[in-house]
Amino acid sequence: MDTIGVLTSGGDAPGMNAAIRAVAKVASARNVRVLGIERGYDGLIDGRFRQLTRAVSWGMAPIGALQSEGNKGGTMLGTARSSRFLAPEGRQEASNRLQSLGVRGLIVIGGNGSVAGAHHMAIESPIPIVAIPASIDNDIGCTSDAIGVDTALNTIVEACDRISDTAQSLKRAFVVEVMGRQSGYLAMSAAVASAADAVLIPEHQSTEEEIVDSIAELIHRNLATERAKRLVLIIKAEGVSIPTDRLVSEIEARLLDTNIDVRGVVLGHIVRGGAPSFHDRMLAGRLGLVAVEAIMNGITDHMTAWRTTVSGGRLTSDPMVELFPITDVLNETEALLDGSSEITKRRIRRMEDIQGVLAL
């Protein structure tokens, strides 16, 4: 009987469990056994495996716990960053573990670092390896969406709605920090959805002085003039150069004579938690199906991609999902993050176009 492995690695994202469940269900339908690998690449090196399928009279079926676990956030397999896996010796040990159990292929669910790890192991190991993108930052190349992004955005928008309620009652300005070390996608999307007055993203590469000047002026114009506005909401990505607490202090110093109250809120890991949305469960299911099919067809060193705008992908049984060589994914990811990608350039132009609209 064929056996495949699945692991989650790097930062957790809502929908990872749904992807694990999808892999187990699709594989079971093909009478393929699935081994879950706990604690990411570290667990793979250490041989921390658990059965995700079981033998039944008609073949294979997912274990019962997967049905409910698939609806939860986080990852039932756990995740960890592995320094040992960075070395060729660590990857060889991981490959040996899989081969000793007769594992035919490995599916890796995770973000940029996890996908890069899958690539290095794929070119060094005879075992087919396919990656599924899962990262709330939506900073993975070749795919328009990654598992976890939609849930994270819903969480941010809900938090901003709650903050807006209290801010309007007391006439305040709030700077809300969301995740996004190198990518401002979450901040940009949430700013539009929550009708924020401004958004700060790392892609703009503004200086601290420029940021403080523009935000202080925006708040003063909206709360200390004849406007009847009672709330100013600024969404800030964590990767912006000035820390949120210092930004708030600097703004308050500029507005000392106005009695305007400015507060900072760091949402942090709240953004990563919670049950996955419909979209993330659907995405997990469809990417999981294609990943299993790819493994069974002997495809390796590829990543599943959703509604891509990049050429060069391999068509699959799902018209919305393509498979891209991971080298292409990593190259496009680097371009996304350094600003040379046309996608990043379009995002920045779009934000520049709507900045004036946000402040109305």
Give the per-residue SS3 of the chain. Answer: CCEEEEEECCCCCCCHHHHHHHHHHHHHHCCCEEEEECCHHHHHHHCCEEECEEEECCEEEECCHHHHHCCCCCCCCCCCCCCHHHCHHHHHHHHHHHHHCCCCEEEEEECHHHHHHHHHHHHHCCCCEEEEEECCCCCCCCCCCCECHHHHHHHHHHHHHHHHHHHHHHCEEEEEEECCCCCCHHHHHHHHHCCCCEEECHHHCCCHHHHHHHHHHHHHHHHCCCCCCCEEEEEEECCCCCCHHHHHHHHHHHCHHHCCEEEEEECHHHHHCCCCCHHHHHHHHHHHHHHHHHHHCCCCCEEEEECCCCCCCEECCCCCEEEEEHHHHHHHHHHHHHCCCHHHHHHHHHHHHHHHHHCC
Same domain membership, residue 19 and residue 104: yes
User: Please, what is the end-to-end C-alpha distance for the chain in angstroms?
Assistant: 63
CB 201 within 8 A of CB 180: yes
Where among 228, 252, 273 does a domain terminate?
273
Mean pLDDT over residues 44-54, rounded? 97
Same domain membership, residue 301 and residue 198: no
The answer on pLDDT for 342 being more than 90 is: no
The mean-pLDDT minimum among 43-47, 277-281, 350-354 falls in 350-354
Distance CA 278, CA 4 (A): 27
**Is residue 247, in this structure, part of any structural domain at all?**
yes
Rg (CA), the chain: 22
Look at the chain and report how many structural domains it folds into: 2
Same domain membership, residue 305 and residue 263: no
Mean pLDDT over residues 23-38, rounded? 97
For the chain, give the mean pLDDT. Answer: 93
**Is residue 31, in this structure, part of any structural domain at all?**
yes
pLDDT score of 23 = 98
User: For the domain that residue 70 is a member of, what is the CATH number?
Assistant: 3.40.50.450
Distance CA 98, CA 117 (A): 15
Helix axes 278-296, 149-170, angle to 10 degrees: 160
Instruction: Report the predicted TM-score, pTM, of the whole model to 2 decimal places.
Output: 0.94
pLDDT score of 360 = 47
The answer on pLDDT for 357 being more than 60 is: no
What is the number of other CB atoms lying within 10 angstroms of the CB of residue 40? 27
Q: What is the pLDDT of residues 229-257, one digit of tens each?
A: 888 999 999 999 999 999 999 999 999 88
Same domain membership, residue 24 and residue 129: yes
* From 12, 42, 46, 137, the catalytic residue: 137
The mean-pLDDT minimum among 181-195, 218-232, 240-254, 315-329 falls in 218-232
CB 317 within 8 A of CB 290: yes
Same domain membership, residue 10 and residue 110: yes
Distance CA 295, CA 280 (A): 22
- With CA atoms as reference, report the closest residue to 186 among 303, 109, 288, 270: 270
Same domain membership, residue 261 and residue 209: yes
Same domain membership, residue 245 and residue 312: no
Same domain membership, residue 135 and residue 50: yes
**Is residue 345, in this structure, part of any structural domain at all?**
no
**Is residue 57, in this structure, part of any structural domain at all?**
yes
**Is residue 72, in this structure, part of any structural domain at all?**
yes
Same domain membership, residue 99 and residue 31: yes
**Is residue 140, in this structure, part of any structural domain at all?**
yes
Whole-number Cα distances in Å, 283 to 79, 198, 327: 20, 30, 23
Same domain membership, residue 254 and residue 265: yes
**Is residue 357, in this structure, part of any structural domain at all?**
no
**Is residue 138, in this structure, part of any structural domain at all?**
yes
- The larger pLDDT score, comparing residue 159 to residue 183, is at 159
Same domain membership, residue 87 and residue 72: yes
Same domain membership, residue 299 and residue 230: no
In terms of residue numbers, what domain contains 280? 3-148+276-337
Where among 217, 249, 273 does a domain terminate?
273
User: For the domain that residue 155 is a member of, what is the CATH number?
Assistant: 3.40.50.460
Mean pLDDT over residues 215-232, rounded? 83
What residue type is 81 in one-letter code?
R
Active site residue 145: no
